[in-house]
Structure 1
Amino acid sequence: MDRQRRSHLAHADHPIAAPVADESVARLLDRAVADGAERALDLGCGGGEWLRRLLVRHPRLRAEGVDVHAEALERAREGAEESGVADRLVLHETDAAAFAPAHRFDVVLSVGAAHAFGGLLPTLAAARALLAPEGRVVVGDGFWERAPDAAALSALGATRDDHADLPTTVDRVVADGWTPVYGHVSTAGEWDDYEWSWTGSLSRWALDHREEPDALDAYQAAAEHRTQWLAGYRGTLGFVTLVLRRSP
């Protein structure tokens, strides 16, 4: 099964593609929008769920989203139309790392897309280049809740150097010239809801569409992912979402 289609099916019950609950998303977005903010950007927007919610909550904003996947951008377009915010959203099918608009943004988001830039700090470098002087960045990435064992690293296809612990992660961000003005560490409950939703949505689709050519592949992918999570990285991989401003 195509990876984009699999991701779309797996996120049917949890459209935010990160272990962040709806109320946490709302709180992060509200902390990110300062008085007078007019423009927002999501680098690696996927299906556009963060932008859709941002535009619904803040009617004065206009937003742009960047992603390389046409299918995801089409879903973002459809979601924006359903929510009545399509007239305030522009989508770009291009590499987020190469996006170079003529203007700057008051809010730049990039949650769970650090792989597209080569890591957290390169993601922040890309955001800085697109950020208005008093703008805010919302960035989300993984960290080690505890030292990863071999099972966790194997399940994630990762190395120990791919992440640091939470204090080190935040220290690196601060040393890079940023000040956290808010943050959210995903709880065990948010992680469990995300992973059960991911594996459950994909499994349900496979069981309900047994005649589809991709059904068996989807079923096996859900089962493999569930094992990787439960027997591998559950309780080891954490996720933090930060609202940042430039340091003085």
Structure 2
Amino acid sequence: MDMWKYFGITHTDHTVMNPMSLAKTRELIDLLHLPDGARVLDVGCGKAEFLCLVAERYKVTGMGLDLSAITFKEARKNVAARELTDRIELLNMDGGKYEPDQEESLDMASCIGASWVYQGHQRTLKALSKMVKPGGLVLVGEPFWKIAPDPEYLRLTEQEADAYEPHPNNVQIGVDLGLTFLYSVVSSDDDWDRYEGLQWQAAERYATAHPDDPDVEVLLRTMRKNRDAYLRWGRDCLGWAMYLFRKP
């Protein structure tokens, strides 16, 4: 089954496509203090909800990049419905291949839950920091280990133990790169339960509505495997946070 199709189906009901509540996301946006006319970039923008919220809060222009044609279509609808097409540009592309017209030209660059674009947390921070002006903001969303993961959890979810770091390490990685750490917000169990639970419901609903889709068997098998891994281990061992840094 195509990865983007699976992701699109399971995230049908998500507004923000990560384990963070909309309320916490808005609170974080209030702390950005972006100046009028600021230029912002969101790599792996999903449905562009974060960009829309930023543009509704501040007088900024933004660009969103996403590789999935499915979520890109939803992003375009979202931006149009919010009447933000004059301030938000969307590109359906691999964010890792994007280069701004000039280095150090953005007021904020973000990559929220898509560090795979740059092959990891550290490389994501490096890539984004090159794009922002001195004094500009770098915002990332990244998983972290709350406790050491069970080997069976790693096997079922096809992950490696070194894929993520503990929460303090995610901060220190940015500090070691010369960034100034400003703030972080951490997902709660409720945030995670909603993020995961919406995927289960969406997959089951899709399977019922599309019984002749040849991908339904793989969809349900994959979703239920991930669901069981979350309920047994993931809820206790895997965290998620958004980290805000400033470039000196």
* Fold match by TM threshold 0.5: yes
Distance 2:193 2:111 in 1: 22
Per the alignment, residue 205 of structure 2 pairs with: 204
Secondary structure of the equivalent of 2:86? helix
Distance 1:93 1:196 in 2: 28
Give the share of equivalent positions with the same residue, in percent: 28
Matching residue's letter, 1:55: A
Per the alignment, residue 12 of structure 1 pairs with: 12
Distance 1:91 1:33 in 2: 23
- Structure 1 residue 100 displacement after superposition: 1.1
Distance 2:101 2:228 in 1: 46
- Structure 1 residue 220 displacement after superposition: 2.6
Distance 1:129 1:177 in 2: 12
Distance 2:145 2:197 in 1: 21
Aligned 1:1-248 pairs, distance under 5 A: 1-36=1-36, 38-58=38-58, 60-103=59-102, 104-247=105-248
Distance 1:198 1:74 in 2: 19
Q: How many residues of Structure 1 are paired with residues of Structure 2 in the alignment?
A: 246
Return the TM-score normalized by structure 1: 0.91
Matching residue's letter, 1:4: W
109-118 or 228-237, larger mean C-alpha shift:
228-237
- Structure 1 residue 37 displacement after superposition: 5.1
Secondary structure of the equivalent of 1:47? coil
Secondary structure of the equivalent of 1:32? coil
> Conserved in 2, the CA contact under 8 Å of 1:151 and 1:233?
no
Question: Which structure 2 residue ranges, 5 or more long, are not aligned?
Answer: none
- Structure 1 residue 108 displacement after superposition: 1.0
Return the TM-score normalized by structure 2: 0.91
Matching residue's letter, 2:48: G
1:56-80 Cα shifts (integer Å, max 9, x gaps)? 333x111101222333322211110
- Structure 1 residue 48 displacement after superposition: 1.8
CA RMSD, Structure 1 to Structure 2 (Å) = 1.8
Distance 2:87 2:34 in 1: 18
Question: Which structure 1 residue ranges, 5 or more long, are not aligned?
Answer: none
Distance 2:87 2:185 in 1: 27
